[in-house]
Chains A and B, each alone.
Chain A
Amino acid sequence: MYAQMVESGQAGTTDQDRAFQDKIDRNVRIEPRDWMPEGYRKTLLRQIGQHAHSEIVGQLPEGNWITRAPSLQRKAILLAKVQDEAGHGLYLYCAAETLGKSRDEMTRELLAGKAKYSSIFNYPTLTWADIGMVGWLVDGAAIMNQVPLQRCSYGPYSRAMIRICKEESFHQRQGFDIVRTLMEGTEDQKKMAQDAFNRWWWPAIMMFGPPDGDSVHSEQSMKWGIKLNSNDELRQKFVDQTVPQAEWLGLNVPDADLKWNEERQSYDFGTPDWDEFFAVIKGNGICNRERLDARNKAWDDGAWFRDGLMAHAEKNTHKIAAE
């Protein structure tokens, strides 16, 4: 999902380009100081940046419920979880920085609305059950996308993904556990869970990006080893994994076309509303403006803090130099 809408750069045809491709084919990781085609660098920067921004903006819909989590334990777990997202954003920005772009620069692009982030975070979290759905479905889809990226060709990105996947495994489980508790609870709680499921199912399906046929050109990214699976491949895997879980929980999947296909040993499922998907990407989701406003406000309100710390550090350097 983080990599799905990234336009891929062009490969060159020089000897250097061929040697580079050969290295990737031999499964040798590319490291920051190695030669790389400009297209590879740019594509990676876009992809890692987009991924990092998604983690940062992704803090907001869940952070929205830290103050309202319904038990002390849930409050602690959610705070730890959203904090992890900040950590993941940080790891990813650092990985992108090895390609020669500073975190502040990337942040400015996000704040100016020039950089993309996963559009799932432009949906609102309306009830406590939404927090369960975000963990179970949204993080579930994210993990599906991130696990293969641990093997991606760029060393710093691959290492960041390894660390992230290790930490992320608790996120999906805590979401599932929230939903499970609701489904074992009162009638109101069950209703709350089904309602949230109805609202999050399709957006989660769409997280994997448009169908392969209509997808932006990503062949080159596949060749370069920075995108490892097609959108539809991952989407199918997600549906096959999640439908039995929904059934176990006693939730109805809001898709009339959902049917087990014995021959394919997979589920057939309906077509998401791609018009909605593109509308949200274009900025017409329910929370696009709120999300960017919140990030801008945090950045602007924090300027004095960052400047103050720099001013102190500079004073200290001068003091030490003078001694």
Chain B
Amino acid sequence: MEVDRTSHELRPMTCELGHLSRSDGSATLTQGDTTVITSMYGPGDVRISKEIIDKATVEVTYRPKIGLPKCSDKLKERLIRNTCETVILSGLHPRTGIDIILQEMQNSGSFLSCCINSACLALLDASIPLKYLIAAVTCCISDKGEITLDPDLKQEKKSVAILTFVFDSKDFNVVTVSTSGSFSNEQFQSCLMACREASKHVITFYRESMLKKLSKSV
């Protein structure tokens, strides 16, 4: 199913915005075959126990496809929630709640970056005020030390380490890092720089999608 590609290419991306009628904002993003659907509700009412007086409460729910949510899913939720909290201008909506719900549809590699990118698209679709955009890119290091961007499931299984970086669109500094496996400092730095270059393409993709969506006014 996967087309042959070299190590410094991103897989084809497709997105569909606003297709869920009940949500305030929704996005389906596919990177290659990895598909994640994200919907968000907000700013809306929030339980008093979770209310913050000067900011909006951001809550993230992640649902895997098979089985009930486990501990590893909680860590994913925490990661995505912290990333979204950094981006959203929550001070503009105090005492409200912003709910982001992610559903795994297909996991064919680079799953965490697909989740974060689709969350950003859903926030854009709902017109939530953001400080900057965020772009996530995953790369993996093979046992020979080669870096592959946006790996699929087979490449991830053969790799020694998998690193996911999230960059902001203003200065391209690192917002989030999540790694698995062990690697050296030099490998870390080269992955960081490679992913930074790749994230610029992701930001361009967001821009083009929104331009297309807003090109006609109803």
Determine if chain A interacts with chain B: no
Which residues of B approach A to under 8 Å, CB–CB? none
